[in-house]
Structure 1
Amino acid sequence: MFDSPSLPPALVRSAREAAGDPEAALRLAPDVAEALGRPGGGNTRHLWRGLAELGAIDLTVARTLEPDLDARAILDQAGSFVGDPEAEIPGQPRDVGLVPEDAGGARTWGVYAAESPDHRLEANQSDDGRWRITGHKPWCSLAGSVSNALVTAWTSTTARRLFAVDLASSQVRAGEDRWVARGLSRLRTSSLEFDAAPAAPVGDDEWYFTRSGFAFGGIGVAAVWWGAACKLAAQLESSCRSRTPDQIAQFHLGQCSLALEAAQSVLADAAHRADALDLAVGSTAEGSEAAWATALRVRGSVHRACEVVLTAVGHTLGPGPLTQDDEYARRVADLQIYLQQYKPERDVAALGQSILDGPSTFGGLP
């Protein structure tokens, strides 16, 4: 899948210099967005290759930049709604900062769609057509660092819509949440409190969740995981080459190869599928359902491969590099907590349900 580098050498150097520093990573966001582009249209392999490269360089940098890239893709996929930010858009507040001014725009983005069982973020439209959102949004990574965000809010008891918000607004406040993470330690996650904050809707009710781009946007995270796991496997390979490895070390190195090559194959297939679909606002429901099943398979496969690699390097390399190699120890801790943010059991169960909802999957052979 990943034939040639996606990131130009200057950006690779800058990403390495930003390792462990989300603020420095955010300063790279416009240049990374310009270099990697958006999913679909024949560009998905290039984009995911770039995300994997970032994951291999540093997971703090990759975890910071991936949602910014996703937000820009979402705004593109919103179609005709996203136009000239200076144009008159009926019913939209003019001070929200809806889209980047240009390819080098200074805005940076988060995407916050998590829901709390105890709180709801609600959106209300006033008589003049303007929208405002009020309430609590949990699990907002880097909310104190990015300038803008795409957030989901309830427009009724049953429907949600995506909104663009300016986090510098006086009507938005970050919560005082406790953050004691050891992996991705500087990627602080907090809640956000909105008090009738101006918001610009992006798409109609439920568009964010039903578009084909929703599923393929989620695969970008898996590309980051894969890149980080490849870097760990490379360190295991280097260790084996520097000494005479025993059969156990060879076994674990082979396990890494099996898992990562299989994960690369499903990523490559998913990239091909993404490029074959219309990811814009008019994509069909059938396309969205097929894309979601693909995303579930890819994320599950890559997640499993990463766990194989973490087990392999842990069993083979032991505690030495965890206690003496800062970069290795940080990468292991970062990848572990990044993977924990994904719930594989839930996704695999959803995949099983999608199989039962469709035609027979395994009955094609005589």
Structure 2
Amino acid sequence: MSGDAASSASTAPEQDDDVEAAGSPQAVRAAVADRFTALTRAVDAAAAPGLGGRPIAEVPLPGSGRTADRFRVLYELGREDLCVARLVEGHLDAVAILDEIAGDRTAPGERWGVWAAQPPGPGLTARESGGVWLLDGVKPYCSGAHSCTHALVTADTADGRVLFAVRLGQDGVRPVPGTWQAVGMAGSDTPGVAFTGVEAVPVGGVDAYLDRPGFEHGGLGVAACWLGGARAAAAPLYAAAGKRPGDTVTAAHLGAVDTLLSSAETVLIRAAGDVDADPPDALGGARTRTLRVRALVEHVCTEVLAHTGRATGAGPLCHDARHARTVADLTVYVRQHHAEHDLAVLGGLAAGRQDGALGSAR
């Protein structure tokens, strides 16, 4: 072996290690946390690119008359980075929840999460002691566990499930190591968090978190993030079709994807208009609307990933780190849609609405 070859061989592992370290879950999580922190600290639009030309504090609330602008912000963040979008969506959802239930506002520099997952098994409990509410147990799926300053957390009381506001800097709050092993959405930092005697403040009464129109409106915001991720995942297909004008197979895949994406984007904007037309859900259509939109967007995401992969092959997944991460992230994130379970709920609601009239989606 020549000296040059030996030198090259000796340095190659270090280069590989550097690349691996840059793409490690820890590095991705740190980069996402930094971006999330920068966005929540921004006080002007120039400091917060990706937020639709406004600082995060000025993103419209759902039902404000500018819900489409809210969804555009989440959509564009999804196109940029689904993990960042996930954390920002949680913060914006917390802002909306506090406004809707308690009329409260968050303070500048605070970073909020909404930790309300309720999988089977023991969860978080709340008890009142001397006029103070204390939380104990483990809450799973806590996005932004290491970067959020506060969270809205559901916990079981003797009377039922209640939403609590928690300051996360307390000694009794501890993310549980090893409980977030995901490759996709690694940067969302979503481990279980253990609570031991943690002080909390109730936000509304029993089931107030679920029994409000904003719960459904918030579900549409998540779909906006998914759809932005789908648009990003399709980028290699758009590029490939532009470079292969005579390739009818690639063009056909792109035609299918473009139809799906543009249709879902139109439906999402229509849903925003419906929210603004009836913020308190006096017409009772919010649940059906959200289930329909989320089911459609989940289907679009699944089809976009399939068409893009079949048309472009393994190349983008193997040589384009951003695309590979987007595909992995979207595959995990879209599973917040509960597949056939949610479709069954929608089917039950749709069974009573068989008129089929154009415009009856409200």
Q: Cα deviations across residues 225-280 of structure 1 (Å, max 9, x unaligned)?
A: 111212233431221111234221111111112211221122112101111223xx
Is the 8 Å Cα contact of residues 59 and 331 (structure 1) preserved in structure 2? Answer: yes
Please say if 1:110 is aligned against 2:113.
Answer: yes
Please say if 1:124 is aligned against 2:127.
Answer: yes
Superposed counterparts of 1:88-107, under 5 Å: 99-101=105-107, 105-107=108-110
Distance 1:333 1:147 in 2: 27
- What letter matches 1:233 in structure 2? A
- What letter matches 1:125 in structure 2? E
Query: Percent sequence identity over matched residues?
Result: 38
Q: Cα deviations across residues 99-138 of structure 1 (Å, max 9, x unaligned)?
A: 422xxx111011111114221322223353x322222211
Larger mean Cα displacement after TM superposition, 334-343 or 48-57: 334-343
Once the two structures are TM-superposed, the CA of residue 359 in structure 1 deviates from its matched residue by 4.6
Q: Which residue of 1 aligns with 2:161?
A: 160
Q: Which residue of 2 aligns with 1:54?
A: 77
Q: Which residue of 1 aligns with 2:196?
A: 195
Is the 8 Å Cα contact of residues 25 and 65 (structure 1) preserved in structure 2? Answer: no
- What letter matches 2:255 in structure 1? G
Once the two structures are TM-superposed, the CA of residue 185 in structure 1 deviates from its matched residue by 2.1
Q: Which runs of 5+ in 1 are unaligned?
A: 1-17, 83-98
Q: Which residue of 2 aligns with 1:240?
A: 241
C-alpha RMSD over aligned residues? 2.2
Q: Cα deviations across residues 24-49 of structure 1 (Å, max 9, x unaligned)?
A: 12221243422423211111100100
Once the two structures are TM-superposed, the CA of residue 341 in structure 1 deviates from its matched residue by 3.4
Q: TM-score by structure 1 length?
A: 0.81
* Aligned residue among 16, 24, 27 for 2:34: 24
Q: Which residue of 1 aligns with 2:348?
A: 353
SS of corresponding position for 2:209: helix
Is the 8 Å Cα contact of residues 29 and 188 (structure 2) preserved in structure 1? Answer: no
Once the two structures are TM-superposed, the CA of residue 362 in structure 1 deviates from its matched residue by 4.1
Please say if 1:267 is aligned against 2:278.
Answer: no
CA radius of gyration, larger in: 2
Q: Which residue of 2 aligns with 1:186?
A: 187
Structure 2 vs 1, CA of residues 298 and 30 (structure 1 numbering), >3 Å: closer, same or farther?
farther
Distance 1:361 1:156 in 2: 44
SS of corresponding position for 2:288: helix
Distance 1:37 1:25 in 2: 21
SS of corresponding position for 1:47: helix
Q: Which residue of 1 aligns with 2:65?
A: 42
Distance 2:336 2:67 in 1: 24
SS of corresponding position for 1:267: helix
Structure 2 vs 1, CA of residues 163 and 320 (structure 1 numbering), >3 Å: closer, same or farther?
same
Once the two structures are TM-superposed, the CA of residue 184 in structure 1 deviates from its matched residue by 2.1
Is the 8 Å Cα contact of residues 132 and 199 (structure 1) preserved in structure 2? Answer: yes
Q: Which residue of 1 aligns with 2:306?
A: 311
Structure 2 vs 1, CA of residues 37 and 359 (structure 1 numbering), >3 Å: closer, same or farther?
closer
Distance 2:261 2:29 in 1: 24
- What letter matches 1:120 in structure 2? G
Distance 1:363 1:46 in 2: 28
Q: Which residue of 2 aligns with 1:276?
A: 277
Q: Which residue of 1 aligns with 2:9?
A: none
Superposed counterparts of 1:194-233, under 5 Å: 194-233=195-234
Q: Which residue of 2 aligns with 1:8?
A: none
SS of corresponding position for 1:207: coil
Distance 2:268 2:308 in 1: 23
- What letter matches 1:326 in structure 2? A
- What letter matches 1:113 in structure 2? A
Q: Cα deviations across residues 292-323 of structure 1 (Å, max 9, x unaligned)?
A: 11110000001111111111110111111111
Once the two structures are TM-superposed, the CA of residue 77 in structure 1 deviates from its matched residue by 1.0
Matched residues, number = 318
Distance 2:201 2:194 in 1: 17
- What letter matches 1:309 in structure 2? V
- What letter matches 2:36 in structure 1? L
Please say if 1:295 is aligned against 2:290.
Answer: yes
* Aligned residue among 150, 153, 169 for 1:151: 153
Distance 1:211 1:264 in 2: 25
Q: Which residue of 1 aligns with 2:144?
A: 142
Structure 2 vs 1, CA of residues 126 and 361 (structure 1 numbering), >3 Å: closer, same or farther?
farther
Is the 8 Å Cα contact of residues 150 and 163 (structure 1) preserved in structure 2? Answer: yes
Structure 2 vs 1, CA of residues 171 and 361 (structure 1 numbering), >3 Å: closer, same or farther?
farther
- What letter matches 1:328 in structure 2? H
Distance 1:335 1:117 in 2: 24
